[in-house]
Amino acid sequence: MTAIHEALDELWTESPGLGSWDRMSFTTALVEVTSNVVQHARSSRPVVCRVGIRVDDLEMRAVLSDSGEAADIDVAERREMPDEWEEAGRGIPFIQALVTSFDHRRVDGQNVWTIVRERKRS
């Protein structure tokens, strides 16, 4: 997680026109996706994760791939937050609330998680 925060700190320094709400939302969503992959990825071998982050004039995009077993999860449909007393199930709706799009695909034996947040001008 430290590497994610360091990469984002460097990226935010290189993108001074990016609003604080966009930075906070994107950072939180990426940390949540990464934490979920680290916590839930399963494999008989160590799971390898790679993250690519890009910011341009229109959007912020992160693509995280992991070598774990196929994640049997659909993130395409918007989800409601679970009841306040539920112990699990907040991650996906939380991420969906913070980004413009959230996608998961299985590509070449990898889980590929993509988050995109369209930029708002500050």
- Boundaries of every domain in the chain: 2-118
pLDDT digits (tens, 9 = 90+) for 91-113: 789 999 999 999 999 999 999 99
* Residue 28 pLDDT class (50, 70, 90 cuts): very high
Region 46-73: mean pLDDT is 93
pLDDT digits (tens, 9 = 90+) for 29-41: 999 999 999 888 8
Separation between Cα atoms, residue 72 and residue 98, nearest integer Å: 22
CA-CA-CA-CA torsion sign (117, 5, 108, 44)? negative
- Which element (helix H / strand E) includes 25? helix 20-40
CATH of domain 2-118: 3.30.565.10
Mean pLDDT of the chain: 88
Which has more confidence, 104 or 85? 104
Extract the tokens encoding 7. Answer: 């990469």
Q: Which residues pair with 111 in a beta bridge?
A: 66, 106
**Rounded to two decimals, what is the model's pTM?**
0.87
Nearest to 100 by CA among 118, 122, 120, 76: 118
